[in-house]
């Protein structure tokens, strides 16, 4: 029985983090579907839902107003979800620059804020973003070019994570995003991306459907609803958004717990994702669900390997299981050293990546625990 647990767990982990990326890369290479892009200028509404962003909102609006897109063809809508700082007053200063602001006193959560923004958006294309990031000047132009193709219903851009503080956590998170966007780029080339990046994605306004107020991951829920209507969700690597990595592992952990808890919730809100008739089932299972199960497989793998290393008597088998156990112990030692280095200014990439990888897998377990208990964080400032 221990051998079965060992090999099933090892296969699941390998497939999740290595096998699936290779499969989608090969599909993108040999079964690519072109997007018929063109230089079009539809009307665009940029929607920002925010909570207490007085430190960021002015710079964000200046950044968006400087975008290389016809000024008369886009508007900016800011929805303040019960902000108690100076966010509202700052946004009002931009009222004459195609910026509209909506505010309510009682905090109701990001889905409610987005629903209000979309209800008042006039654009043919809606671009979603947050208050914390910044866009390259040509982002709107590059995103909307994809909508010249009538099969495209949504487009997400590239998310570049910088590490101004030079922290080990920031380096590990940056590596994770590079890995993640390679997968998304491959998925988009042969079909649709599984979800979008909340800081930079666009949809056809006609395809919008109001979010359930309890939604945690609007940037996966909305694109998946669009994909299940028969439209493509594509990745535009020329549309670049910049952000700064979390300063500490604790902040990144909290962010990932919320994100991964949202993936559990998706199965509850959109059970059609799990139907055999869903053309994105394999991608959703491989890219999202197996990621959630990975930490459980890791625990089982270590326990099974420990038993086999002690019990196996055949020389070749004993050597194999002892070597694989040693490999796992080396990995967890790297996690430990990565944790130590996270408390100092020293960086070793291997240790940093191992540490952030373990943090994200631990977040999946905590996300499951919170979801089962019914805990919901409907808003995290800066997301």
Q: Taking Cα atoms as reference points, which of 154, 222, 140 lies closest to residue 192? A: 154
At 300, the pLDDT band (50, 70, 90 cuts) reads very high
**Within a domain: residue 69?**
yes
Distance in angstroms (rounded) separating the CA atoms of residues 135 and 123: 19
Q: Are strands 99-104 and 74-81 parallel, antiparallel or unpaired?
A: parallel
Asked if the model's pLDDT at residue 383 lies above 50, the reply is: no
**Within a domain: residue 43?**
yes
Asked if the model's pLDDT at residue 180 lies above 90, the reply is: no
Distance in angstroms (rounded) separating the CA atoms of residues 82 and 75: 22
At 359, the pLDDT band (50, 70, 90 cuts) reads confident
CB 312 within 8 A of CB 324: no
Which stretches of the chain are DSSP H helices? 2-14, 20-30, 57-65, 87-92, 110-120, 139-145, 168-190, 218-227, 249-269, 281-284, 290-311, 315-341, 349-373
- pLDDT at position 356 is 82
CB 243 within 8 A of CB 292: no
Neighbour-count burial of 124, counting CB atoms closer than 10 A to its CB (0-12 exposed, 13-18 middle, 19+ buried): middle
Distance in angstroms (rounded) separating the CA atoms of residues 140 and 13: 38
Q: What is the pLDDT of residues 280-291, one digit of tens each?
A: 888 989 998 898
Q: What is the pLDDT of residues 221-250, one digit of tens each?
A: 999 999 999 999 999 999 999 987 666 667
Q: How far is CA 32 from CA 1, 189, 241, 376, in A?
A: 42, 5, 25, 39
Q: What is the pLDDT of residues 113-149, one digit of tens each?
A: 999 999 999 999 999 999 989 999 999 999 999 999 9
Distance in angstroms (rounded) separating the CA atoms of residues 282 and 276: 9
Q: Taking Cα atoms as reference points, which of 32, 33, 30, 24 lies closest to residue 283? A: 24
Asked if the model's pLDDT at residue 380 lies above 80, the reply is: no
Asked if the model's pLDDT at residue 381 lies above 70, the reply is: no
Number of domains in the chain: 1
Q: ∠ CA 33-34-40 to the nearest 5 degrees?
A: 145
DSSP result, 131-164: SS-EE-TTHHHHHHHGGGSTTEEEEEEEEEEE-T
Torsion angle defined by CA atoms of residues 290, 216, 24 and 276, in that order, rounded to the nearest 10 degrees? 70
- pLDDT at position 246 is 63
Tokens encoding 61 = 């609006």
Distance in angstroms (rounded) separating the CA atoms of residues 282 and 37: 27
**Within a domain: residue 216?**
yes
* Candidate ranges 45-49, 171-175, 351-355; pick with highest mean pLDDT: 45-49
Distance in angstroms (rounded) separating the CA atoms of residues 94 and 72: 15
Give the number of residues written for the chain: 383
Q: What is the mean pLDDT of residues 267-284?
A: 86
Beta bridge partners of 156: 201, 235
Q: What is the pLDDT of residues 302-325, one digit of tens each?
A: 999 998 888 776 788 888 888 999
Tokens encoding 196 = 């979008």
Spatial CB neighbours of 132, under 8 Å, sequence gap ≥ 6: 53, 56, 60, 199, 243, 244, 382
**Within a domain: residue 12?**
no
Average pLDDT, the chain: 87
CB 9 within 8 A of CB 301: yes
CB 169 within 8 A of CB 342: yes
Looking at the chain, the whole-number percentage of residues with pLDDT higher than 90 is 53
Q: What is the mean pLDDT of residues 154-159?
A: 93
**Within a domain: residue 165?**
yes
Q: ∠ CA 212-213-216 to the nearest 5 degrees?
A: 85
Q: For the domain that residue 177 is a member of, what is the CATH number?
A: 3.90.550.10
**Within a domain: residue 173?**
yes
Q: Taking Cα atoms as reference points, which of 182, 194, 279, 266 lies closest to residue 228? A: 279
Which stretches of 31-167 are DSSP H helices? 57-65, 87-92, 110-120, 139-145
- pLDDT at position 382 is 46
Phi first, then psi: give them for residue 150, nearest 5 degrees: -65, -15
CB 267 within 8 A of CB 367: no
Distance in angstroms (rounded) separating the CA atoms of residues 347 and 159: 23
DSSP letter (8 states) at residue 300: H
CB-based burial, 222-243: b 16+ in 10 Å, e otherwise: bbbbbbbeebbbbbbeebbbbb
> Which residue range is the domain that position 67 belongs to?
30-246
């Amino acid at each position: 029985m221990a051998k079965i647990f060992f090999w099933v767990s090892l296969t699941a982990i390998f497939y999740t983090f290595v096998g699936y990326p290779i499969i989608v890369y090969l599909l993108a290479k040999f079964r690519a579907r072109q997007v018929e892009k063109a230089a079009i200028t539809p009307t665009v509404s940029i929607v920002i839902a925010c909570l207490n962003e007085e430190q960021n909102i002015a710079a964000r609006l200046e950044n968006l107003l400087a975008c290389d897109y016809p000024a008369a063809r886009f508007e900016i809508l800011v929805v303040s979800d019960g902000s108690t700082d100076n966010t509202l007053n700052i946004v009002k200063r931009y009222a004459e620059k195609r910026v509209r602001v909506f505010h309510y006193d009682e905090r109701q959560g990001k889905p409610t804020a987005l629903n209000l923004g979309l209800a008042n958006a006039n654009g043919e294309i809606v671009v979603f973003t947050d208050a914390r990031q910044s866009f390259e000047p040509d982002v709107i132009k590059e995103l909307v070019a994809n909508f010249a193709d009538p099969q495209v219903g949504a487009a997400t851009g590239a998310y570049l994570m910088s590490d101004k503080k030079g922290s080990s956590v920031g380096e590990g998170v940056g590596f994770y995003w590079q890995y993640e966007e390679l997968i998304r780029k491959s998925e988009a080339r042969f079909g649709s991306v599984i979800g979008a990046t909340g800081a930079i994605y666009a949809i056809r306004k006609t395809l919008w459907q109001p979010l359930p107020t309890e939604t945690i991951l609007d940037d996966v829920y909305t694109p998946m609803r669009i994909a299940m209507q028969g439209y493509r969700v594509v990745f535009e690597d020329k549309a670049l958004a910049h952000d700064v990595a979390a300063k500490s592992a604790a902040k990144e952990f909290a962010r990932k717990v919320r994100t991964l808890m949202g993936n559990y919730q998706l199965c509850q809100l959109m059970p059609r994702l799990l139907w055999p008739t869903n053309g994105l089932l394999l991608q959703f299972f491989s890219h999202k669900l197996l990621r959630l199960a990975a930490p459980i497989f890791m625990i089982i793998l270590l326990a099974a390997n420990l038993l086999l290393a002690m019990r196996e008597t055949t020389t070749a088998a004993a050597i194999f299981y002892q070597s694989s156990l040693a490999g796992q112990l080396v990995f967890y030692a790297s996690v430990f050293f990565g944790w130590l280095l996270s408390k100092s200014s020293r960086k070793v990439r291997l240790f940093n990546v191992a540490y952030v990888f373990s943090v994200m897998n631990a977040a999946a377990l905590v996300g499951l625990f919170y979801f089962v208990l019914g805990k919901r964080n409907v808003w995290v400032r800066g997301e």
